[in-house]
A = this chain, B = another copy of it.
Amino acid sequence: MQQWEVVEGSLASAQGFRAAAAATGIKKKQGSLDLALIVSDAPETKGAALFTTNLVAAAPVIFSRKNLAESHGRCRAILVNSGNANACTGRKGMQAARECARAAARLLGLEPAEVLLASTGVIGVPLEADLITSHLPDLVKELSAANAPAVARAIMTTDRIPKSCVLRSEWGGKPVHIAGVAKGAGMISPRMATMLSFLTTDARIGPQTLRQLLRAAVRDSFNRVTVDGDTSTNDTLAALASGVSGVRVSSGTRAAAWYLKGLAQLCRTLAVMIARDGEGAKKLVIIQVEGARKAADAERIARAIANSPLVKTAIAGSDPNWGRILCAAGYSGAAFNPGKVDIRINGLPVCRNGLDAGFDEASAREELDRNEITLRLDLHQGRASAQIWTCDLTHDYITINASYRT
């Protein structure tokens, strides 16, 4: 099978797609991009999406779920705004969502059911549909490959860096692309589909297969990230497949296995970007648990460590406080023998058989001063493993979130 390789590009690197972004004033800071439109020109384009598992779902989530069901996966456009989540906004929020989708559909010559919506930002504040609909005519005129890179910036909230990735491979001599953007930063926890992420591809994939493949890719990518354990009301991962490459990917075929490899790689890349750019984060932290009896045990332990404020503040302070790591494993609910556990920080043993490994304090601090840290636990009790990505917990997280609304 042909490998997938990272290439320069944008969502429009997948053939058939154009995109653009605009500053509408939803974000208070003047001139900040806060609206993006992603469109496929191929009439046979199919879409699939995964949404938050939060019982409190935002209007665009409710709207898009319904749309995808009604259109049987026929989907040509994604309209997304940042600066306002349109969550906890009731009937008026649903109405605003419908207005935006209708206006976009009219301008693009589509049915409203072919438009997906997504929003991110403050919760509980009414979304002024006018701000969006009044900017849509210009936005539609701006749709192009050249303007597509702006989408990654337009979906940012407290993100410090735009997150995008493009992969390219070949199948039967034909080039195929998968491109993606994502936003993360806060209210990020793994018990869901994902935060916001939009993928475009020129492979030809039916909506059910696309959804299956997304589910499989998400399990070991977006669902492995946690910044603060808070699952958002707006999480959405949506993918559009234009089919323009002429390469068909059907469920259960060799092509599907090849395609999933690329899709999973893309999602992992974006997921790690989200962990690295967590609110206030200075360090990417990879929790690797090995030697568990069951994968579920390994995952529980990795998640407990990744969500422990005490572990995360210790990492922020470059304090090799391995006792907190073992403590979090202990309350995770997983079964293991603490007396057999080894812990290494970037390869440096700090705990052996559940006890202080007699490490050099200065070396440990040096490892923890890096901007990428792997905490590796070996339970020595089986062959199962799990990996979770997170970040350190710093003063900046508090600063950002103590006055997010105002």
Interface string of A218-240 (1 = CB under 8 A from B): 00000000001111110000000
Name A309's closest neighbour in chain B (CB-CB). B228
What 0/1 pattern do residues 305 to 334 of A give for CB contact below 8 A with B?
Answer: 001111001101101111110111111001
User: A373-406: which have CB < 8 Å to B?
Assistant: 393-395, 397-399, 401-406
Cβ–Cβ contact B398 & A398, under 8 A:
yes
| Nearest CB of B to A318, in Å | 8
- Of the A-B pairs whose beta carbons lie under 8 Å apart in the complex, a sample of 12, sorted by A's number, is A55-B336, A85-B323, A88-B322, A89-B356, A90-B355, A124-B356, A125-B323, A228-B309, A229-B309, A230-B327, A309-B393, A314-B405
Count the copies. 2
In the complex, A322 Cα to B331 Cα: how many Å? 30
Could you say which residues of chain B place their CB within 8 Å of the CB of A398?
Answer: 313, 316, 393-395, 397-398
A15-63 interface with B by 8 A CB criterion: 53-57
Give the nearest-CB partner of A187 in chain B: B310
- Asked if A354 is an interface residue, CB under 8 A from chain B, the answer is yes
Q: Which residue of B lies closest to A93 (CB)?
A: B355
Binding site for B on A (CB under 8 A): 53-57, 85, 87-90, 122-126, 186-187, 189, 191-192, 228-233, 307-310, 313-314, 316-317, 319-324, 326-331, 334-336, 338-339, 351, 353-356, 393-395, 397-399, 401-406
Q: Which of B232, B233, B401 contacts A309 (CB 8 A)?
A: B401
Complex CA gap A325/B54 in Å reads 12
Known: A310-B228, A395-B398. A90 touches B330 (CB 8 A): no
Distance, CA A399 to CA B353, complexed state (A): 30
Contact residues in B for A122 (Cβ distance below 8 Å): 321, 323
Q: How far is the CA of A403 from the CA of B321 in the complex (A)?
A: 9
